[in-house]
Amino acid sequence: MTNQRLRERLNIDDKNAAIASRIIKDTFKTGKIKEDDPENKYRKHRSYVPLWA
């Protein structure tokens, strides 16, 4: 899951990308998702997967 993919799924306008970022950030903090590639240092290219994956 990326920021763009989340915006598409939730029908969030590109101009409101901060909403998707906040959802990802809050969900990551609760431990429900994890980074797909923890070695990736580029924030723009991060993707996330469910914790159980």
Mean pLDDT value across the chain: 93
Evaluate whether 33 touches 1 at the Cβ level (below 8 Å). Answer: yes
Res 41: pLDDT = 83
The reported pLDDT for the residue numbered 17 is 94
Asked whether the predicted pLDDT for residue 30 surpasses 80, the reply is: yes
Percentage of the residues of the chain whose pLDDT score is greater than 90: 77
- Sorted by sequence, the CB contacts under 8 Å of residue 8 that are 6+ apart come out as none
Nearest-CA neighbor of 12 among 39, 40, 36, 2? 2
pLDDT category of residue 43 using cuts at 50, 70 and 90:
confident
Predicted confidence (pLDDT) at residue 46 exceeds the cutoff of 80: yes
